[in-house]
Amino acid sequence: MKKIILVFTVLLIIVGCNSPKNYSGKLSVIDLKVDSILSLMTLEEKIGQMNQYNGFWDLTGPAPNEGDAANKYNHLKQGLVGSMLNVRGVEDVIKVQKIAVEETRLGIPLIIGFDVVHGYETQSPIPLAESASWDLETIKKSAEMAAKEAAAAGINWTFAPMVDISRDARWGRVMEGAGEDAYLGSLIAKARIEGFQGDDLSKSNTIAACAKHFAGYGFAESGRDYNTVDVGTSTLYNTIFPPFKASVDAGVRTFMNSFNELNGIPATGNKFLQRDILKGKWNFDGFMVSDWGSIMEMIAHGHAKDKKHAAELAVNAGSDMDMESYVYVNELKTLIDEGKVNVTLIDDAVKRILKVKFELGLFDNPYRYCDLEREKEIIGSKEMHDAALDMAKKSIVLLKNDNDLLPLKKTGQKIALIGALASDKNSPLGSWRIAAKDNSAVSVLEGMQQYNENELVYAKGTDVSIGTHNFASEVKINTTDKSEFKKAISVARKADVVVLVLGEVGFQSGEARSRTELGLPGLQQELLEEIYKVNKNIVLVLNNGRPLAITWADKYISSIVEAWQLGSQSGNAIAQVLYGDYNPSGKLPMSFPRNVGQVPIYYNYKNTGRPGPKKEVFWSHYQDEKNSPLYPFGYGLSYTTFKYDNLQVSNVNNNKVNVSVQISNSGDVKGKEVVQLYIRDEVASVTRPVKELKGFELVELKPKEAKTIEFVLTDKELGFYNNEGAFIVEPGTFKVFVGGSSDKTLDADFEL
Ligand code: GLC
């Protein structure tokens, strides 16, 4: 590092005539520094910055001297590695950083990436759950805490937020996103990026964020992960792109491309996506990292004939860094020598990467994220868990409470708690829990035991899965072992109330975890029906990573709580909601289907030329199922009730529309409501959805308290992208809808 500072200082003196104070061009000081370093680098060293390796040897042991890890280790020593992922913990980060900074010719520091998707060691709720809070401030705080904890472990870059919109609960990665709506998804993307990156990326408790997976990954055909994506232009511009554009506008410093092909061209080799749109139209000045091995996978896609061709396609298309394909480090120099890749593209990619490293302060101090004392003090701290608990409570959605079984009485009750998931301390951590300690979540059982003035009896009922599983293994579902049914039924029979925790184990959703069925896995539905035969007072608590088709439960079970996978503080959050110490305020960010056959199902659908219902048969419907979801987007109940009155639309001039509504708490307890505003552009040159979310406000009201909520609609809300990618606003008739769910609203018309 000493070398580079000396050389660097000399260079800045030379460049000094253009020193920033006299320099009036567009280049920032960092740009000048980057240019200076670039001018020192050999072609091999430049290519090295574009190469990212996974943590590749047992860092607690001697460095490898043979095999693949040895090659990577030697590349590290030769300055041919720009970044590493999955190296974590101050001690190990120092080890690899020291090699890069002190043993290579120029000492350029590594950027250390990790999947801090919803927490580092302390897990907050899965992102889909956090999105159900519609609480942007709390979501931002959650990301801020994750960044602080990860940075304390030496990490300075997270591969998050995942901003892929999806309408298909069969796809396992819906757990990782913000659901089906581009407007909500865009605001949540912004909140998460601001939380991770803070207002100063060089601070030691902020990390670079990464908008992923660009683009269209959530539209994988049949909900099967990594599958083909074929979408129309209007969906691309109006549904898929907006959260990514919002990420650029929020200042995200990196992007990650996606595994899928988009309309015939793999995203990693897709120039339209990466150069024309991202770096061109949107003027993104950060860098694009490939997804794991996605450059090499263009061979399997049938788009590249070999590794060298894959490297050529990817770098020409704008993929700046190669995650674990090893093709840039091995093929790019030859491609440049053969004139197939222009060195200016290498320079552009390297400048982007170096710029982010400067912004992170890594050149000032490559060890700024490596403080052993801070690591001990911050990781797993009370501050982290308090934030996780707060986020978890706000993420819970009350789906049903017909007989007011909830909130539970705090004394004198005999409560049967049933379900393997009720004592499961792993599943609430979700599937992106790489740095979390196994079995570290507070279980529902442990949370409920805090309320010790009731008699609480636990029975497992049935295992959801067989044996153990982890991030890289399949989950085997129990479909035969009913040995615990009898005990559970007996416990249920004697109880005043049964709390039944059913759903999915942690690794049934997430990457590579697609499902063709959306019911309760394994024997859980049978258990539910058996329990129902002996006790009707059931509170069903769902622990799941995706919308489930729980049509039977909706018909027969009087109280249903959607509790997702809520992270480290799951059991405490659930218990506090069940006992009414927190009045549930969540709203669904994704529609729940009645039947997997309805999927993809979403609220902002197009009307079609044959909407219904109609008396005759020729309209868009199913013979065997309703069109509507079981629970719609934006739906969620409370222990109180809210009333909407007096929807007013005024001041419709030069495309500015004022909307106001009065909301009152018509119940007996304080509660929070997400007041939602939707519009419909009735006639347009490109058809518009029957409803589009264009505003919401989270409001807390005491019993009988009322408040007037105001919204302003401008071009930004009233316009849309046409099929040429231009954002336009067209005159005509609009409807505006306001309410506490996408399907229950007041409405009014206005002319634009
Ligand atoms: C994965 C994921 C991506 C993740 C990366 C690094 O396969 O698709 O989201 O960030 O690899 O773990």
Q: What's the pLDDT score for residue 286?
A: 98
CA of residue 113 to ligand 1 center, whole Å: 11
- Cβ 115 under 6 angstroms from ligand 1: yes
**Rounded Cα–Cα distance for residues 575 and 579 (Å):** 6
Q: Helices 2-15 and 29-38, interaxial angle, to 10°?
A: 110
CA of residue 50 to ligand 1 center, whole Å: 17
CA of residue 748 to ligand 1 center, whole Å: 45
- Cβ 291 under 6 angstroms from ligand 1: yes
**Rounded Cα–Cα distance for residues 627 and 616 (Å):** 16
Output the furthest CA–CA distance in the chain (Å, rounded): 86
CA of residue 650 to ligand 1 center, whole Å: 48
**Rounded Cα–Cα distance for residues 387 and 431 (Å):** 20
What atom of ligand 1 comes closest to residue 259's alpha carbon? Answer: 8
What atom of ligand 1 comes closest to residue 212's alpha carbon? Answer: 9
Would you say 681 and 730 are in contact if contact means Cβ atoms under 8 Å apart? yes
Amino acid at 410: K
Would you say 689 and 606 are in contact if contact means Cβ atoms under 8 Å apart? yes
Q: Is 645 exposed, middle or buried (0-12, 13-18, 19+ CB in 10 A)?
A: exposed
CA of residue 581 to ligand 1 center, whole Å: 38
Give catalytic status of residue 481 as yes or no.
no
**DSSP state, 278?**
I
Backbone angles phi, psi at 596, to 5 degrees: -60, -20
**Rounded Cα–Cα distance for residues 208 and 195 (Å):** 10
Q: What's the pLDDT score for residue 195?
A: 98
CA of residue 457 to ligand 1 center, whole Å: 41
**Rounded Cα–Cα distance for residues 174 and 545 (Å):** 7
Q: Is 692 exposed, middle or buried (0-12, 13-18, 19+ CB in 10 A)?
A: buried
- Cβ 159 under 6 angstroms from ligand 1: yes
Chunk the chain into consecutive blocks of 10 residues (it has 752) and report each block's average pLDDT, rounded to whole numbers.
Answer: 51 44 70 96 98 87 82 95 96 97 98 98 98 99 98 98 98 98 99 98 98 98 98 98 98 98 97 98 98 98 98 98 97 98 98 98 97 98 98 99 96 98 98 96 98 97 94 95 98 98 98 98 98 98 98 98 99 98 98 98 98 96 98 98 97 87 98 98 98 98 98 97 97 97 97 93
What atom of ligand 1 comes closest to residue 115's alpha carbon? Answer: 10
Pocket test for ligand 1, best of 53, 85, 120, 291 (most atoms within 8 A of CB): 291
Q: Residue with the nearest Cα to atom 10 of ligand 1?
A: 159
Pocket test for ligand 1, best of 84, 196, 511 (most atoms within 8 A of CB): 511
CA of residue 418 to ligand 1 center, whole Å: 35
CA of residue 160 to ligand 1 center, whole Å: 9
Q: Residue with the nearest Cα to atom 3 of ligand 1?
A: 291
**Rounded Cα–Cα distance for residues 356 and 750 (Å):** 47
- Cβ 292 under 6 angstroms from ligand 1: yes
Q: What's the pLDDT score for residue 382?
A: 98
Q: What's the pLDDT score for residue 59?
A: 76
Pocket test for ligand 1, best of 52, 53, 115 (most atoms within 8 A of CB): 115
Would you say 151 and 209 are in contact if contact means Cβ atoms under 8 Å apart? no
Backbone angles phi, psi at 481, to 5 degrees: -85, 105
Pocket test for ligand 1, best of 159, 227, 259, 288 (most atoms within 8 A of CB): 159
What atom of ligand 1 comes closest to residue 159's alpha carbon? Answer: 10
**Rounded Cα–Cα distance for residues 318 and 309 (Å):** 14
Pocket test for ligand 1, best of 83, 174, 256, 260 (most atoms within 8 A of CB): 256
CA of residue 86 to ligand 1 center, whole Å: 11
Q: Is the pTM of this model over 0.95?
A: yes
Beta carbons within 8 Å of 435's beta carbon, 6+ residues apart:
88, 114, 116, 120, 121, 150, 153
Q: Residue with the nearest Cα to atom 11 of ligand 1?
A: 292
- Cβ 214 under 6 angstroms from ligand 1: no
- Structure token digits, residue 641: 């009730």
Helix, strand, coil fractions of the chain, as percent rounded to 5 = 35, 20, 45
CA count, 13 A, side-chain hemisphere, 53: 23
Q: What's the pLDDT score for residue 62?
A: 79
**DSSP state, 20?**
T
Q: What's the pLDDT score for residue 20?
A: 43
Counting every residue written for the chain, the total comes to 752
Closest CA to 513 of 212, 54, 123, 126: 126
**Rounded Cα–Cα distance for residues 721 and 584 (Å):** 36
Q: Residue with the nearest Cα to atom 1 of ligand 1?
A: 292
* Selected catalytic residue, list 225, 291, 320, 463: 291
What atom of ligand 1 comes closest to residue 210's alpha carbon? Answer: 10
- Cβ 279 under 6 angstroms from ligand 1: no
- Cβ 114 under 6 angstroms from ligand 1: no
- Cβ 511 under 6 angstroms from ligand 1: yes
What atom of ligand 1 comes closest to residue 113's alpha carbon? Answer: 6
Q: Which helix (H) or strand (E) holds 146?
A: helix 136-152
Q: Residue with the nearest Cα to atom 7 of ligand 1?
A: 292
Q: Residue with the nearest Cα to atom 6 of ligand 1?
A: 292
Q: Residue with the nearest Cα to atom 12 of ligand 1?
A: 115
CA of residue 3 to ligand 1 center, whole Å: 35
Q: What's the pLDDT score for residue 652?
A: 77
CA of residue 291 to ligand 1 center, whole Å: 6
Beta carbons within 8 Å of 304's beta carbon, 6+ residues apart:
269, 298, 310, 312, 313
What atom of ligand 1 comes closest to residue 213's alpha carbon? Answer: 9
- Cβ 681 under 6 angstroms from ligand 1: no
